[in-house]
Amino acid sequence: MTKAVWMTSVVSSEDPLRKIASTLPAYGLKVKGHFWEDDLEKMAWVAARGELIEPSVALWLILSSGERLSVPSIRYGLSLLAIAVQARRGLSFPVVLLLTDGIQVSPETLPTPLKGCDVVSLSDPGLGAKLVAKAHTPAGAIGSEYRLDAYGDPQIGQWFEVGPRMDAWSGAIFGVSGGEIAFHGVGPMGSLPSRSVLNFPSKGMKLTLGEREYVAWAVRNDLDPRTSYFIKVTGFPDSILFGPFPSGEMADVHVVTLK
């Protein structure tokens, strides 16, 4: 099976696209892709999800200027798409941020779902070889204690799915810093539940971590690796936290930044 590169172009110029499209086929890689639509209300970020989870796609290439990558709405949309792809391809699915200008971007400054990406300049003379090597490098096993997925549809809204990867959770908590939680449910992993019975649901809990304040909802349902907590969120939070329901004063939660 011929490997492919999916290219998301956050810049509108076609010159960088032509450069990539003419370079990679010489190395035996197909190039497919789309122009990024910065429209969170329409949840346009979900458009490329189906293509990126195809087994033939060996690399996600994000073509952007450093300036465009500083826009909060773009960072948020790319984060949610990365979450949705990583939920199916794994956290080690290779992502390369290809910069079109001289602005330096460090992976540590990116939102959590993009921190593992490689940052390469479009002017790098070894660009083609680097991208080919990345596409052909076997994905390593990067594990996590949790499962995280994101769903977006103008009809049903924006949802997050969380749950344990191995050990069971005695209840679950989910909080947002910015945005609001509108609904929650529990059901089998992988699809939004049509109905749900919640044990001792809680709403409006406030937690502070560092300089951020989160508003959280929670349930006491037991979650195993095939059962998830689903949360509908309105707005576009800067950060989310989630994990098993706190057993004491200290909450053992995972924090994911989105902008």
Whole-prediction pTM: 0.94
What CATH homologous superfamily does 4-136 map to?
Answer: Cobalamin-binding domain (3.40.50.280)
What stretch(es) of the chain map to CATH 3.40.50.280? 4-136
Q: Indicate the CATH number of 146-257 among 2.60.40, 3.40.190, 3.30.420, 1.25.10.
A: 2.60.40
Sheet of 95-99, strand order: 30-35, 4-9, 57-64, 95-99, 118-121
Q: For residues 45 and 113, is the Cβ–Cβ distance under 8 A?
A: no
Question: Does residue 174 surpass a pLDDT of 70?
Answer: yes
- Find the range with the poorest average confidence among 70-84, 132-146, 151-165, 217-231: 132-146
How many Cα atoms are found within 13 Å in the side-chain-facing hemisphere of 258?
24
- Tens digit of each residue's pLDDT (9 = 90 or more) over 182-238: 999 999 999 999 889 999 999 999 999 988 999 999 999 999 999 999 999 999 999
- H-helix or E-strand spanning residue 61: strand 57-64
Tokens representing 104? 């330096």
Q: Which amino acid is at 189?
A: M
Where does the pLDDT of residue 1 fall: very low under 50, low under 70, confident under 90, or very high at 90 and above? low
State both tokens at 84: 């949705």
Q: Which residue has the higher pLDDT, 206 or 249?
A: 206
